[in-house]
Amino acid sequence: MGSWTRFWQQLHQRSRIQGEEEAALQTPLFMVFLLAFLIILIGNVSVFAVITLSVQLHKPMYILLGSLSFLDISSTSMTLPNLLAMLHTQDKTISITGCMVQLYFFMAFACIEFILLSAMAYDRYVAICYPLHYALRMSLKHCAKIIVGVWVAGFLVPVIHTVLMTNLSFCSSNHINHFFCDLTPVLKISCSDTSLIEMITYIYGVIVAFSTFTITSVSYVFILFKILKIHSSQGKKKALSTCTSHLTCVIIFYGSIICLYMRPTKSISPNQDVFALLYVVLVPMLNPFIYTLKNKEFKANLRKIGSRMSSIFTRFNGINKSQNSLFIN
């Protein structure tokens, strides 16, 4: 009961998030992050909308991509709006409750992305290595089950972390050397024993991160062997084109995660914000462009929806003009 009493008392405290010392940087940083946030929203909402509205894109590969776009929107919306508010108002504080909520959802979305990327790699593996079995192994029903399982598992994994974090005490400093509530910066300022949480973090790292990385890596090893067996250069090019976009995003994602978390808490550098920005901002900003830039099927459906929306707007504009002309006479 004592630990819970301390927790409820700490809810009334404020945990300060350390920002830029130079006031002159506030406005430029605000504009940069606002632009990045708008690009992320427009890009991922466009991908999600096109996949949802186009019946031709109701295939496992695109449904998984739509789920990734929705994930990028959700994860970015948990961090960047708060950062923008801090830069705009210069009030760099967050309540402990808000910090725990942000921490929980950030870890949940990270777990979901690990599992979802491995599911997308498995989808490409089946499509290239077992094309005749693809319709059976990756039916829409199976794809829906995979997506539901991914999201449920992602939200369950951080529960223990969050419960343990609520029992931490912050004695001397409440300054987080980060731009949002992440696990390692919060653990670093705690005066409680964090060894149990760190141990669970590494266990989960093996269970979630390492296992999904193994699935992704093994899938691409088999894909590579299959592509090497293809005799025609056109066939090899077509097979590679379906994998390069996903592989690029996997490399960026795992690279930023390794730089952020595969180190002891005490050795975290003050410059870790660079790697966090790579994951929080750059990955969701690049994903829509990497996945769709060379995808002819997606671009064709995007043009169809664009022309359809344009014709609806033209028709609506014409009706308004005809109605206004009645008052002129």
* Domain presence at residue 321: no
* Domain presence at residue 326: no
CB 161 within 8 Å of CB 201: yes
Specify which residues 97 forms β-bridges with. none
Q: Which range among 34-38, 96-100, 150-154 shows the weakest confidence by mean pLDDT?
A: 96-100
pLDDT digits (tens, 9 = 90+) for 235-265: 788 778 888 888 888 988 888 777 766 655 4
pLDDT digits (tens, 9 = 90+) for 48-84: 999 999 889 999 999 999 999 999 999 999 889 888 8
* Domain presence at residue 314: no
* Domain presence at residue 308: no
* Domain presence at residue 312: no
CB 64 within 8 Å of CB 143: yes
Give residue 216's domain range.
Answer: 2-299
Number of domains in the chain: 1
Q: What is the pTM of this model?
A: 0.83
Spatial separation of the C-alpha atoms in residues 259 and 16, rounded to whole Å: 25
- Tell me the percentage of the chain whose pLDDT exceeds 70: 82
* Domain presence at residue 243: yes
Q: Give the domain CATH number at 124.
A: 1.20.1070.10
Q: Which residues contact 204 (CB under 8 A, 6 or more apart)?
A: 157, 161
Q: Which range among 62-71, 108-117, 164-173, 212-221 shows the weakest confidence by mean pLDDT?
A: 164-173
* Domain presence at residue 30: yes
Ranges assigned E (strand) in the chain: 14-17, 93-95, 175-176
* Domain presence at residue 238: yes
